[in-house]
Amino acid sequence: MRVLLALGGNAMTSADGRARVEDQIAAAARAAEAVAQLVAAGWDVVITHGNGPQVGNLLVKNELAAAVVPPVPLDWCGAQTQGTLGFVLMNALDAAFARHGLDRRTAAVVTRTLVAGDDPGFTTPTKPIGRFLPAAEAQVLVEHGETWEDRGEKGWRRVVASPEPLEIVDAPAIAALVDAGFLVVGNGGGGIPVVRDSEGALHGVEAVIDKDLSAAVLARSIGADVLVIATDVPQVVLGYGTPDARPLGRVLQRDLRAYAERGEFAAGSMGPKVAAVLRFIERAGSHAAICSLDDIVRAAEGGAGTVVAADDESEPFHEDHELNHDN
């Protein structure tokens, strides 16, 4: 069985959100321990991860140095953080495998994700990134070709496109490495966004791809049986922030889709994760889970987190799994 494990950005920072070097190394060690348990349980594992805090740090460096050197474009920021986090995760995974007596090699693939050059997001960018700046500092970056918006009292903030992921360009390389016995880290941050020109050549573009939606595309591309999205909460919650809030355990895709359509999940938080698991199941016919990092082994097996099954699975998991049965 093959599982794509999507680690949220929180999995690569400290509990309070700090992203110092030592914080990221410690967070990677914690994630690697959970992954080692998956491998010990017999799973083929592919890892993808968020990179928001790391790209955010690079953007601050861009801002501080913009009057001296040209800012590094966003696709380059993605490539740099993929390489750095891949290196950190490989070291952590190698150490965790050694502790568990597991003979498994690791690899990291700098991965590109194809998007459409005519995606509406490029015409009207709406995805806010980075910190707020005073107008004068934002103007320096506008002169370098970036799009910034006046957000009132908070200041100015950069906005970029967030196009739909169409294809994981380097998925065949990831699949070949997995078939050769490697545990692969790839497609970090949703992948480096690229477009294809009229002659077939690829070019990086300034954009941010949703990492969860991109994880669903990668999972299908590498033939994953299960998609697990690890985040900072144990389950999806219905009625979040209300007196009627309740965790969602096992659920069929049609019911989860109905919850989403009635606006249960916020676009900036749980919404993309729910959309990702639905897309994966609709095209792969397996199951998916959204869970905490500590529950990924049980979630992969269908026994923890919010576990989403295909509509034709009336009772897809063993009865002894401790889930809230909403169906």
SS3 217: helix
Neighbour tally for 191: CB within 10 Å: 31
Interior angle at CA 38, CA 35 and CA 39, nearest 5: 90
Asked whether 172 and 64 are in contact (CB, 8 A), the reply is: no
Residue type, 134: P
Q: Is 42 one of the catalytic residues?
A: no
Strand order in the sheet with 148-150: 127-133, 156-160, 148-150
Q: Is 154 one of the catalytic residues?
A: no
Asked whether 164 and 213 are in contact (CB, 8 A), the reply is: yes
Q: Is 9 one of the catalytic residues?
A: yes
Check 56, 57, 91, 127 and give the catalytic one. Answer: 127
DSSP lists the bridge partners of residue 325 as 250
Check 78, 211, 249, 303 and give the catalytic one. Answer: 211
Place of tokens 């033939």: 223
Check 62, 130, 188, 273 and give the catalytic one. Answer: 273
Q: Is 211 one of the catalytic residues?
A: yes
Check 8, 10, 52, 303 and give the catalytic one. Answer: 10
Q: What residues are annotated to the active site?
A: 9-10, 127, 211, 273
